[in-house]
A and B are shown apart, each in its own frame.
Chain A
Amino acid sequence: MDPAAASLNASPEATVAPRPQPQAFGDFYREHYQAIAGLIYRRTGDTHVTEDLTADVFLAAYKSRDGYRGEVPPLVWLRRIANNRVNRWVRREIGLRGILRRLPLISAFVATDTSALEPRSPTLAALLRLPIDQQEVLSAHYLEGLSLNEVALMLSISPVAAKSRLARARDALRRELAHRTQESSP
């Protein structure tokens, strides 16, 4: 007999409730991965950031799964977590760019080209310049294709408030795009 084989003569069954099994969470992960990674990718435009933040979202979901009581569909719950993670990332990125721009001496030696921190797409750069709540509502409605009611549910606001916020966000994006067009024209 294989000396490296150990055999037990008893194999008790044990069950616990209500924590999901790892295997069940695996199915949950596979089912919603594309939706969450897609959302993050469209807001950040960066492959590595998307992979990191997507993992963060599912880690957070795993850790707080006992707190999820099914008040909203699972995907809405995940989208809320994803939005929070992306918003945190945006604040950090915008903050870093601002610091580098305000410190020309440092940026001259350390990061001479702050454009490296800018998204490759000027349209995405314009979106990321908007206030966070406006980014969220534009992203949810136009990028993820959610209805106003779904947007309202995800952001925990009324549909009327969602509609109003969406209109303000569109105006803000229009101004930001015009501003960037002026800046880039000779």
Chain B
Amino acid sequence: MNTHDSNATPVTDPVDTALSALAAPRWSKEPDWRSFQERLMSTRSFGWKKLGVLALLASGCFAAGAASGVAWERFSFTGVFHSSNGQTANVQGEAIRTGEGQFEMRLNTDGKIDASGGGSMDITMPDGTKAKLVTQPLDPANSKELTLQDGRKVRVPKNFTEDDLKRLRVSPHAK
């Protein structure tokens, strides 16, 4: 006589049932990089100097004369620099007037970026107006690469002087 009950329900371990239930939930929200990036920036407002591993020193002249309705000798700004090759970097910058229609601009970024192809960023001028800072592509034939003592490499125009290099605040040696 066959005593096997083919209709017997398999016994399920309650622990397995519980663990299956715990494994079921799925996280459906998409990553929001922009929002995270803002949070990242807000948590290190005083960490810029430590994290500022790149110093770009650019000199030039105002193409449009006074770009602000307020006279200024120097001012600082922050923003996102967009290079022409699609890279972006968070930038803390400072503009310093050096003469009639002349100024220097120092841009500190929190990472590596190749700005040799030029790029732009929106900045706020001292009078509160918005301005677009545009950098022109660097001519490879008229530039040189320097390796700084801490290993960083900086490409600069050929006419970059020793005084210009001193402003990078690290001792360079030409490659």
| A and B found bound together | yes
Q: Are A22 and B110 in contact (CB under 8 A)?
A: yes
Taking the closest CB of chain A, its distance from the CB of B5, in whole angstroms, is: 26
List of B residues within 8 angstroms of A16 by Cβ: 53-54, 111-112, 151-153
Bound Cα distance A59, B21 (Å): 30
Bound Cα distance A20, B111 (Å): 7
Bound Cα distance A143, B135 (Å): 51
Q: Are A6 and B133 in contact (CB under 8 A)?
A: yes
Q: Are B67 and A5 in contact (CB under 8 A)?
A: yes
Q: Does A121 contact B (CB under 8 A)?
A: yes
Q: Are B27 and A50 in contact (CB under 8 A)?
A: yes
Bound Cα distance A14, B88 (Å): 14
Q: Are A7 and B60 in contact (CB under 8 A)?
A: yes
> CB < 8 Å: which of A7, A14, A20, A59 contacts B153?
A14
Taking the closest CB of chain A, its distance from the CB of B46, in whole angstroms, is: 14
Q: Are A22 and B89 in contact (CB under 8 A)?
A: yes
Chain A residues bordering chain B, tally (CB within 8 A) = 51
Secondary structure type dominating chain A contacts: helix
Q: Are B36 and A55 in contact (CB under 8 A)?
A: yes
Q: Does A10 contact B (CB under 8 A)?
A: yes
Chain B residues bordering chain A, tally (CB within 8 A) = 70
Docked complex: B16-74 residues within 8 A CB-CB of A: 18-23, 25-27, 29, 31, 33, 36-37, 39-40, 43, 53-67
List of A residues within 8 angstroms of B132 by Cβ: 2, 4-6
Bound Cα distance A103, B114 (Å): 60
Docked complex: A140-177 residues within 8 A CB-CB of B: 142-143, 145, 170, 173-174, 177
**Additional A-B contacts beyond A10-B138, A62-B40 (20; CB < 8 A):** A6-B131, A7-B135, A9-B60, A10-B60, A10-B135, A10-B157, A11-B135, A12-B160, A13-B116, A15-B154, A16-B152, A17-B151, A19-B53, A20-B111, A22-B88, A22-B110, A42-B23, A124-B22, A142-B19, A142-B23
Question: A-contacting residues of B (Cβ < 8 Å)?
Answer: 14-15, 18-23, 25-27, 29, 31, 33, 36-37, 39-40, 43, 53-67, 87-90, 105, 110-119, 125, 129-138, 143, 145, 151-157, 160
Question: B-contacting residues of A (Cβ < 8 Å)?
Answer: 1-17, 19-23, 26, 29-30, 33-34, 37-38, 41-42, 45, 50-51, 55, 58-59, 62, 121, 123-124, 126-127, 138, 142-143, 145, 170, 173-174, 177
The contact sample of 14 A-B pairs, CB cut-off 8 A, is A1-B63, A4-B64, A4-B125, A6-B62, A7-B134, A8-B58, A11-B119, A13-B145, A14-B155, A15-B154, A16-B54, A50-B27, A143-B23, A173-B18
